[in-house]
Amino acid sequence: MKKLLIPLALLSLAPLTRAQSTDTIKLVDGTQIQGVKLTWMDVREVRYKVRSSEKSIVREKVNSLLIQQAKAKGKLRKALKAVASEDWGEAMVAYLDAAKSAKKSKVLAGFLPQYALWKAFEIARDHGTEEDRSDVISQLTKEYPETFYLPQIWEYRIRLAYKKAGTDRKRLTAIKGLVAKYLEQAKDWGSVRSEIEAELEGVLIRERLREIKAEDAQKSLSKLLGRAETDYPDLANRLSLHLANAVLRSGKLQEARKMFNAIINSGVADPLTLARAYLGRGHTWFRKSSRSPEDAKKALLDYMRIPTLFSKLDYDLTAEALYFAIESYKAWGGPDLQANVRRLIRRLKGRYRDSTWAKK
């Protein structure tokens, strides 16, 4: 694994810059529980202390964790230093070492080893090899069969299965079995949220295989949205995104734009959903039959948000956004047209040369 140069502005270095000794639990509704000390986490619950009081919250209400308590930061210091210097190989090893060390601590064993292993996986996912990713996931699920990160692991497994399947119908069909296992586990650990996520994946793969019609898929998604929107607003945004894209495909651009706007302005969309909503909104401007230069400029602004703000989230998504940014810049006819278009083309064909968008 080689050292990669990535702008520090793109990194989340809060553990290095905030001087505090308590943890923060970020919830799916956008709120936070601050000033706590984690003591335990698994796929069912997160336990924590507020001063001397023991409290807990169900896992499905938790979006993410910011661990800052002093003993934990001590274990993570070497890893955080490597992240700050963008030495990803060293950072991954340091997180793995921190996980091993934290298992021996009575105070930290209930949560920090999982956290450190997941951080190692994120580095492997973004900068490592498939073997790195597989090894870390195997270690995490073997040592912690009911890890806090099981929902994310299932999402990763399904995305990986899609990537490997390509257009192979037999492999795509096998994803149905994978989704069924996810649904079974979600019911076992009592997570309504994960059940909805698994059912969403079931609808999407059946639509992909053309086992159900698009309108039936939309009806199923609408029902799932009704179950999610009160308690799981971030998940509701993901469902709304699929519905908005269906409206976009039907050619109802203004209606689709309103739906994308609602996701963008919600304040609780996860980064990937937000990026896809910007892409969708860009399409509503770019696909107008009576598109004006101003419409093309609006599309350009939405497309460029993705490589500017979300470039690490999804390789193909960023490539698609750059492709349409080039086309919308041409349609707009903005300043330094040829030079700026050439610059965008170089970026697309350089950083994203393996994408289908770079070959168009």
What residues does each domain of the chain span?
8-143, 255-360
Specify the pLDDT at position 20: 59
Tell me the average pLDDT of the chain: 92
pLDDT per residue as tens digits for the range 26-63: 998 889 999 999 999 999 999 999 998 999 999 999 99
Helix (H, G, I), strand (E, B) or coil at 229: coil
Distances (CA, A) of 247 to 88, 242, 275, 287, 302: 41, 9, 18, 13, 18
**DSSP states of 74-92:** HHHHHHHHHHHTT-HHHHH
Specify the pLDDT at position 15: 43
Distances (CA, A) of 163 to 7, 135, 156, 261: 28, 19, 10, 29
Sign of CA dihedral 211, 214, 218, 219: negative
Over range 329-333, report the average pLDDT: 96
Specify the pLDDT at position 273: 95
> Could you say which architecture CATH assigns to the domain 8-143?
Roll (2.30)
Question: φ, ψ for residue 309 (rounded to 5)?
Answer: -105, -25
Terminal alpha carbon distance of the chain = 31
- Contacts of residue 300, defined as CB under 8 A and 6 or more positions apart, other chains included, come to 282, 325, 328, 329, 332, 334
Q: Are 290 and 302 in contact (CB under 8 A)?
A: no
State CA 170 to chain mean position distance.
27
Helix (H, G, I), strand (E, B) or coil at 57: strand
- Model's pTM, two decimal places? 0.84
Distances (CA, A) of 274 to 103, 131, 271: 36, 30, 5
pLDDT per residue as tens digits for the range 170-198: 999 999 999 999 999 999 999 999 999 99
| Torsion angle of C-alpha atoms 141, 146, 148, 150, degrees rounded to 10 | 60
Over range 243-248, report the average pLDDT: 95
Q: In the predicted model, is pLDDT for residue 340 greater than 70? A: yes
Helix (H, G, I), strand (E, B) or coil at 355: coil
Q: Are 358 and 348 in contact (CB under 8 A)?
A: yes
pLDDT per residue as tens digits for the range 226-239: 999 999 999 999 99
Q: Is 9 exposed, middle or buried (0-12, 13-18, 19+ CB in 10 A)?
A: exposed
Question: φ, ψ for residue 146 (rounded to 5)?
Answer: -115, 45
Specify the pLDDT at position 8: 41
Q: Are 92 and 123 in contact (CB under 8 A)?
A: yes
How many residues comprise the chain? 360
User: In which band, very low, low, confident or very high, does the pLDDT at 17 lie, cut at 50, 70 and 90?
Assistant: very low
Strand ranges for the chain from DSSP E = 23-27, 32-41, 45-50, 53-58, 62-66
Name 58's bridge partners: 45
Percent with pLDDT over 90 in the chain: 86
